[in-house]
Amino acid sequence: MNIEYGDDLLKKITVDILMGIAIILEFVSLPILIHEIIGIGLVFLIILHINFNKNYFKAIPKGKYTLKRTIDLIINIGLLISLSITIISGICSSQKSLRNLTIGKYKISHIHKSSSIISLIFLGLHLLTTRKKLFSEIKKLH
C-alpha cells in the first residue's frame, strides 16, 4: 500500500468517524453552547468529507446511470439539501455562539429540528448505499 494513499485514507476515515460522533452528540441533550460548537465543528467535518470525495462530484455528469446510481445520486442530493437547510437554520436560530449575527432567533428552530431529522434519515440511506465502499476502505488500512 502506498504510504501517502494510506495516510489520506486514514484521514478520510478519521473524518468520517468524527462526523459520526458529532452527529450522535448533536441528538443528545447538551447545553446549547456545546450543541452549537459541535454543530460548527460538524460543518467543517462535512466540508472535509465532501473534499475527500470530490471525485464523486466530478463523476456525476459522466457515464451511464443505472437504477442504483440514480438512487445514490437522489439520496446524496437529498442529504446535501437537508444538511444545507439544517446548517442555515442552525445559524439563524443560534442563541449563544453566533448570537451577534443580526439574523438570529427566529422561530426557525422548528425548521432546524425538522431538517436535522430529515438529514438523519438521508444519512442512514447514504450509509446504507456506501457501506461496501466504507468497509473496503477500512480493510485497506490493515
**Helices 3-26 and 32-52, packing angle to 10 deg:** 150
Read off the pTM: 0.81
136, three cell numbers: 473496503
Would you say residue 122 has pLDDT above 60? yes
Percent of the chain whose predicted confidence (pLDDT) is above 90:
61
CA dihedral in degrees (80, 86, 47, 30; nearest 10)? Answer: -140
Would you say residue 121 has pLDDT above 80? yes
Per-residue confidence (pLDDT) for residue 80, from 0 to 100: 96
| Region 127-135 average pLDDT | 86
Handedness of CA 122, 125, 131, 133 (dihedral sign): negative
- pLDDT per residue over 38-93, tens digit each? 999 999 999 999 999 999 999 999 999 999 999 999 999 999 999 999 999 888 88
Q: Tell which wins on pLDDT, 45 or 12.
A: 45
